[in-house]
Amino acid sequence: SQTWLIVPAAGQGRRMGADKPKQYLALADEQPVLAHTLARLHRAFPNARLVLCLDNDDRWFSPHWVPFITWQRVSGGNERMDSVLNALHAMAADDNDVVMVHDVARPCITVDDLQALYQAAATHPAGALLAMPVADTMKRADNQCLSARTEPRDGLWHALTPQGFRYALLRRALETARQQQTLVTDEASAVEALGERPQLVSGRRDNLKITHPDDLALAAAILAAQAA
């Protein structure tokens, strides 16, 4: 059986307010976010097959940043889930192959977390996701940004990536979500909608998703601290 990695990288990254998508901004060692993310994935899974989702109008991508021997490029879709579905439809996977989906915007992912997630995804029939218990007190706002109440935080987790599932389950979950027009922001929510319960794997707090301008310097500092 094969191990697959899907990296959705077809987003515009509008919240960054930069002149190019955030995956192409320089992060460290004069390498863009995308190169760092792919290097981390390759260190953990050198023999995996990579499917990279890129926008058709992407002017910045360079294949030099791809360390994998076996990889393919697919077109992005309107939403993240459409990009992942394009990947699932393009790849020649067997139903039982483990497929891990990882945001290009999370370059600080560690080899240890990747291996822990893979183990859980391969073991658990409903798959697994890296996640982090909520530490802050959670507020429910009304539509005027007034704090209406406090939500109990026990049992609440932040969903991170990667998230890993058997190919057949992931494909069925996302196809069902698209048919029913449920907008899902991660793979696990589509699997949950089938009545399955993916395993939460406690991941590192420094698995930051680069979203806002400040996040780039923070991610660079995390990479430096991890290397020290």
Tell me how far apart the alpha carbons of residues 225 and 86 are, in angstroms, rounded to a whole number: 36
Q: Interface residues for ligand C5P in 195-214 (CB under 6 A)?
A: 209, 211
User: Minimal distance in Å, beta carbon 53 to ligand C5P?
Assistant: 5
**Residue 194, both tokens:** 């089938």
Figure out which of the listed residues 48, 68, 83, 169 binds ligand C5P, where binding follows CB under 6 A: 83
Tell me how far apart the alpha carbons of residues 195 and 8 are, in angstroms, rounded to a whole number: 25
Closer to ligand C5P by CB, 124 or 157: give it: 157
DSSP 8-state assignment for residue 108: T
User: Minimal distance in Å, beta carbon 19 to ligand C5P?
Assistant: 16
Told to check if 105 binds ligand C5P by CB under 6 A, we report yes
Figure out which of the listed residues 6, 50, 77, 167 binds ligand C5P, where binding follows CB under 6 A: 77
Distances (CA, A) of 119 to 143, 173, 192: 42, 21, 20
Backbone angles phi, psi at 139, to 5 degrees: -110, 140
Per the CB < 8 A criterion, the answer to whether 182 and 78 are in contact is no
Told to check if 162 binds ligand C5P by CB under 6 A, we report no
Figure out which of the listed residues 76, 164, 198, 203 binds ligand C5P, where binding follows CB under 6 A: 76
Binding part of the chain for ligand C5P, among 101-109, 134-142, 166-174, 187-195 by CB under 6 A, reads 101-109
Closer to ligand C5P by CB, 59 or 149: give it: 59
Told to check if 9 binds ligand C5P by CB under 6 A, we report yes
Closest to 202 in 3D by CA, of 100, 134, 148? 134
Tell me how far apart the alpha carbons of residues 177 and 173 are, in angstroms, rounded to a whole number: 6
Closer to ligand C5P by CB, 14 or 149: give it: 14
In DSSP terms, 150 is beta-bridged to 139
Residue that is written with structure tokens 């990536």 in the block: 161
The site for ligand C5P (CB under 6 A) is made up of 8-11, 23, 53, 76-80, 83, 103-105, 209, 211
